[in-house]
Amino acid sequence: MSSVVEERPALSVVETRAALLARAHALPSERTRLTHALGLALADDVHASVTLPPWDNAGMDGYAVQRADVLGASTESPRTLQVLGTIRAGHAARLVITPGTCARIMTGAPVPAGADAVVRVEDSDRGETTVRVFADRDVRAATGNIRPRGEDIRDGERVAARGDSISPALLGVLASVGAAEVLAHRTPRVVIASGGDELVTVDEIDAVRAGRAIVSSSSYALPALLRATGAEVRVLPTLPDDPERMRDALARALEHDCDLLVTTGGVSMGSHDHVRDVITQLGGRIDVHRVRMRPGGPMSAGHVLGTPWIGLPGNPVSTLVTAELFVRPVIRALGGHGRVQPTPVMVRLAEDMTAPAALTFYLRVCLERASDGVLEARLSGRQGSNLLTSMARADALAEIEGPTDRVPAGTMVPAVLLDHALRVGV
């Protein structure tokens, strides 16, 4: 099959990401129950309809007092107060604190009238009718262990903005202001198609042992990565290295519920690399022909039948690196998230590294916090694009601009953190 694709110059990583995001428009929004909204992006601002906390409340268990009664208290000179009663969280504060009196109070309980501080229970003898207070540290503090009404949220205040990602913490904020439903962008639907006659599923491992095939590791790793990004993923059966059958399979896949088509393999210059030709035969357009990076240079992208398409290289490391750098931002943009691009961190090389060509290199590295607090990076293993174990061990992708025969240890370089890098305490 002769090529019908006109080759164009390779783009930089920045140019590639810009080209992809230019077509990644936020998907429509829908009313979503808060219990199903985790990971989605808000399509509208959310304003509070309550004030939180709704009353002045105790910051810890202890005694609600008047400051003047406790100033100067110490172990040698305790202050004795009459206990009027106990105020529990969730109960009204009907007591009135006058000079020489106090009330036992629990964390979160409303502060009674007349009290202007809460003495922690540890600084007392825990008395129930009278109490002796042995320290005045709380009454000398500015807040006096009282959390004022409206300290967190005021009625009418914007608590979340359009494009905010609904994290567990934001989910809690939305619940606290009564947002039982939110307007959120729907989940992006991604179709993944891997090509290659040599590829089999994990259930066909005997063919690998016999030397006839390899397991399509990307058919497992890539969907997992995209689901972790917030996509709904459908994986097609492995595409054959036959352009007509491949064209028919992709056309059928694009007929239903597809916001993004991702293919793996078949985008290089080999005689059996048909994906880009098939895309153009389906009426598609290719905007990215190659990327000036390693691994992942053969990556292509464009759109077909009205759907964005990203063609990832077939080598498993190249697949995952390009998915991290390009597919994840596109999915987040489709999902309406305000922040879509990975935020790099600066790391210090713990060993010499190299970037021998005029490309942007993404080296798989393990990170460790050095004694001076700086994150140090070491190669996680050999860097061949077929060596997936070094990707599995990596905490980040260190970005180095080539060409350079030597980037000496001690150099600070940007790095893209991988999801599991939390173990290094970033």
Whether residue 62 is found in the same domain as residue 113 = yes
- How many domains is the chain built from? 4
Q: Please enumerate in sequence order all residues whose Cβ is within 8 A of that of 299, keeping only pairs 6 or more positions apart, or say none.
A: 16, 267, 288, 290, 291, 293, 310, 311, 312, 313, 318, 322, 326
User: Which tops the pLDDT comparison, 266 or 112?
Assistant: 112
Residue 146 is encoded by which pair of tokens? Answer: 């009282």
Query: Are 388 and 217 in contact, with CB atoms under 8 Å apart?
Result: yes
Distance CA 347, CA 424 (A): 12
DSSP state, 287? E
The whole-number pLDDT of residue 1 equals 43
Task: Using the predicted structure, report yes or no on whether residue 359 has a pLDDT greater than 90.
Answer: yes
Strand pairing category for 412-417 and 345-349:
antiparallel
For 225, the 3-state DSSP assignment is: helix
387-393 own/partner pairs: CB under 8 Å, 24+ apart = 387/317, 388/217, 388/221, 388/316, 388/317, 388/320, 390/317, 390/364, 391/316, 391/317, 391/320, 391/321, 391/364, 393/364, 393/366
DSSP state, 26? P
Task: Using the predicted structure, report yes or no on whether residue 3 has a pLDDT greater than 60.
Answer: no
Q: CATH number of the domain at 93, please.
A: 2.170.190.11
Instruction: Give me the residues paired with residue 64 across strands.
Output: 103, 118
User: Which tops the pLDDT comparison, 358 or 243?
Assistant: 358
Whether residue 126 is found in the same domain as residue 205 = no
Whether residue 103 is found in the same domain as residue 133 = yes
The 10s digit of each residue's pLDDT in 6-49 is 667 899 999 999 999 999 999 999 999 999 999 999 999 999 99
Whether residue 197 is found in the same domain as residue 239 = yes
Distance CA 397, CA 403 (A): 18
Task: Using the predicted structure, report yes or no on whether residue 136 has a pLDDT greater than 60.
Answer: yes
Number of residues that make up the chain = 426
The whole-number pLDDT of residue 2 equals 44
Distance CA 101, CA 84 (A): 7
Report the C-alpha dihedral over residues 183, 186, 187, 192, rounded to 10 degrees.
Answer: -170
Rg of the chain in Å (alpha carbons): 30
Whether residue 62 is found in the same domain as residue 125 = yes
Query: Are 230 and 39 in contact, with CB atoms under 8 Å apart?
Result: yes
The 10s digit of each residue's pLDDT in 182-214 is 999 999 999 999 877 778 788 888 887 888 888
Distance CA 426, CA 422 (A): 6
The whole-number pLDDT of residue 233 equals 97
Whether residue 177 is found in the same domain as residue 246 = no
Q: Is 6 a domain residue?
A: no
Q: CATH number of the domain at 297, please.
A: 3.40.980.10
10 Å Cβ neighbour count for 37?
19
Q: How far apart are the first and last CA of the chain?
A: 50
Whether residue 197 is found in the same domain as residue 177 = no
Mean pLDDT for 350-361 is 97
Whether residue 320 is found in the same domain as residue 391 = no
Q: Is 339 a domain residue?
A: no
Whether residue 39 is found in the same domain as residue 20 = no
Task: Using the predicted structure, report yes or no on whether residue 127 has a pLDDT greater than 80.
Answer: yes
Q: What percent of the chain has pLDDT over 90?
A: 79
Distance CA 386, CA 384 (A): 5
Last residue in a domain, options 185, 213, 244: 185
Last residue in a domain, options 281, 305, 334: 334
Q: Is 381 a domain residue?
A: yes
Which of 150-159, 209-218, 270-279, 313-322 bottoms out in mean pLDDT, i.e. has the lowest? 270-279
Whether residue 179 is found in the same domain as residue 237 = no
Q: Is 157 a domain residue?
A: no
Task: Using the predicted structure, report yes or no on whether residue 422 has a pLDDT greater than 80.
Answer: no
Give pTM, 2 decimals: 0.87
72-81 own/partner pairs: CB under 8 Å, 24+ apart = 72/136, 73/123, 73/133, 73/134, 73/135, 73/136, 74/134, 74/135, 74/136, 75/134, 75/135, 78/125, 78/132, 78/133, 78/134, 79/132, 79/133, 80/130, 80/131, 80/132, 80/133, 81/130, 81/131, 81/133
User: Which tops the pLDDT comparison, 175 or 8?
Assistant: 175
Categorize the per-residue pLDDT at 426 as very low, low, confident or very high, splitting at 50, 70 and 90. low
What mean pLDDT value characterizes the chain?
92
Q: Is 404 a domain residue?
A: yes
Q: Is 260 a domain residue?
A: yes
Distance CA 227, CA 113 (A): 53
Distance CA 279, CA 402 (A): 32
DSSP state, 122? G
Domain enclosing residue 409, as ranges: 345-424
Whether residue 20 is found in the same domain as residue 36 = no
Q: What percent of the chain has pLDDT over 70?
A: 96
Last residue in a domain, options 120, 147, 174: 147
Q: CATH number of the domain at 411, please.
A: 2.40.340.10
Whether residue 269 is found in the same domain as residue 283 = yes
Distance CA 242, CA 250 (A): 12
Q: Is 101 a domain residue?
A: yes
Q: Is 85 a domain residue?
A: yes
The whole-number pLDDT of residue 421 equals 52
